[in-house]
Amino acid sequence: MLSKNIEKALNDQVRIEAESSQIYLSMASWAEIHGLAGIAKFMYLQSDEERAHMLKLVRFINERGGHAKVSELKAPKTTYETFKEVFNEVYKHEVFVSEAINELVHISITEKDYATHNFLQWYVAEQIEEEAQAKTILDKINLIGDDKGGLYLFDRDLEQLSTNGSTSGI
């Protein structure tokens, strides 16, 4: 059985994951209308992945005797100046999500809820991957600089990776 404190903290994370999905969906739309099909495809996949993370939390809360709640979401940003700005936002957002997961882990330890602590370890590992992926992408973007040919190749590479169903090999 979940304590009310942990139930609330997990429900806050449900909202964070839902908002993450919306953020990536908005980024996908922006990239798509700017002719960046690879970045759009990558962001659509990221949006789906964040929604899956949200659903995993919802099921866990309900299975543990809590009540997962669907809350109002903050509208995401819809316009960006450059694709580099998009990926800077991705990285900052993933760091924010990692901090939220770490706080959840702290609460679960403080309350001696080891089942929740164990469940959250998947999210801890996932966030390590998400941050590393965002950092790798930013490193590649910095290598490209203002080279339009580099942007073309980068976009194409993201599209091919996304077509293979995995974005972890970036």
Determine which helix (DSSP H) or strand (DSSP E) holds 23, and give its type and residue range: helix 4-33
Is 160 annotated as ligand-binding?
A: no
Is 41 within the bounds of a domain? Answer: yes
Contacts of 79 (CB under 8 A, 6+ apart): 30
Return the structure tokens found at 37: 């099909």
Supply the DSSP string of 85-149, one letter for each residue.
HHHHHHHHHHHHHHHHHHHHHHHHHHTT-HHHHHHHHHHHHHHHHHHHHHHHHHHHHHHHTT-HH
> Residue 170 falls within a domain, yes or no?
no
Residue 140 lies in a domain: yes
Average pLDDT over residues 21-49: 97
Q: Per the domain annotation, does 118 fall within a domain?
A: yes
50 is in an annotated binding site: yes
Average of pLDDT values for 1-12?
A: 97
Q: From residue 43, how far is each of 30, 58, 62, 161 by CA, in Å?
A: 10, 23, 29, 12
Let me know if residue 127 belongs to a domain.
yes
**What is the residue-averaged pLDDT of the chain?**
94
pLDDT of residue 166: 54
Does 121 count as an annotated binding residue? no
In the chain, how many domains are there?
Answer: 1
Q: Does the annotation place 53 within a ligand binding site? A: yes
**Domain encompassing residue 141:** 4-163
- Position of tokens 């949200």? 54
- Where residue 107 sits, what CATH number does that domain have? 1.20.1260.10
Model confidence pLDDT, tens digit, residues 57-71: 999 999 999 999 999
Helix (H) or strand (E) holding 26: helix 4-33
- Nearest residue to 74 via CA among 96, 52, 91: 96
Q: Is the pLDDT of residue 141 over 70?
A: yes
Flag whether 126 is in a domain: yes
For residue range 86-138, list pLDDT tens digits in order: 999 999 999 999 999 999 999 999 999 999 999 999 999 999 999 999 999 99
In a domain, 25, yes or no: yes
Domain assignment of residue 168, yes or no: no
Query: What is the pTM (predicted TM-score) of this model?
Result: 0.92
94 annotated as ligand-binding: yes
SS (H, E, C) 64-101: CCCCCCCCCCCCCCCCCCCHHHHHHHHHHHHHHHHHHH
